[in-house]
Amino acid sequence: MNEQQDFFSSNHNRLLSIAIWAKYLAWIALVVSILYSIGVYFQEQDRQFFSGTIPMHYSDFSKM
């Protein structure tokens, strides 16, 4: 254990801290982008239905 503490300097610990923050921020960015893309899908679906460009025999936007 003492060898490991001797090997890692303060720069290594700072880099590890940055890597941990980057990991959490990457997960947040992934979740936000997934939610954003779902929102854009439903927004486009509503726009198509209310503008009348989808024929009425289609029951779902994805079947178009």
9: left (phi over 0), alpha (psi -120 to 50) or beta: beta
| The predicted structure's pLDDT at residue 37 | 96
22-63 confidence digits (pLDDT tens): 999 999 999 999 999 999 988 988 887 777 666 666 656 666
The Cα–Cα gap between 42 and 29 comes to: 20
Which helix (H) or strand (E) element contains residue 61? Answer: none
Model confidence pLDDT, tens digit, residues 19-31: 999 999 999 999 9
Which value, to the nearest 10 degrees, does the dihedral of the CA atoms of residues 21, 24, 30, 31 take? Answer: -140
Q: Tell me, what's the pLDDT at 22?
A: 97
Q: What is the pTM of this model?
A: 0.65
Residue with tokens 């460009």: 53
